[in-house]
Amino acid sequence: MDARINYFGNALAGKVMRHLNSIAPVVSSALPTATVELVNLRASQINGCGFCTDMHTKDALAAGEDQQRLNLVAAWREATVFTDAERAALELAEQGTRTADAANGVSDEAWANAAKHYDEDQLAALISLIALINAYNRINIINQQPAGGYKPGMFG
């Protein structure tokens, strides 16, 4: 399978990616690495983005994440391996990714639960992280970016 265009070799796409990539360190600095990778992985699974699912699974493992936890991200509600804060972030990620599935977007209950575990800066980071991973997912899905070849750190 080949991507529709060489997004990584296209000058305009490169400019777009540099701007998107400049957001990631700001967002990531406000949250635990595990939370960032779990949120990125869950949104990517929901959206069916193979490239991002591959990337964030490998990045999480490289950062020391446990394989069992990664295996259970898709079924986090039934899993006992996540903290209450991680569960709140995963719920926010799911609702923030599936906005078309709910008339009111993210529920007040999901927001209140996240607000119990994260301060205002961290909530701003979570909102931004969820928006950012959804943007990356859409770029890769539309372009049919092949999955499987990502190596941790290959983009910087």
Note the pLDDT tens digit of each residue in 70-101. Answer: 999 999 999 999 999 999 999 999 999 998 87
* Residue 135 to residue 52: CA distance in whole angstroms: 11
Interval 30-63: pLDDT, tens: 999 999 999 999 999 999 999 999 999 999 999 9
Task: Please state the pTM of the whole predicted model.
Answer: 0.95
Query: Among 1.20.1440.120, 1.10.10.10, 3.40.980.10, 1.20.1290.10, what is the CATH number of 32-143?
Result: 1.20.1290.10
pLDDT value at 28 more than 80: yes
DSSP 3-state of 127 = helix
Q: Are 61 and 153 in contact (CB under 8 A)?
A: no
Residue boundaries of the structural domains of the chain = 32-143
Q: What percent of the chain has pLDDT over 90?
A: 89
What pLDDT is stored for residue 99 in this prediction? 87
pLDDT value at 154 more than 90: no
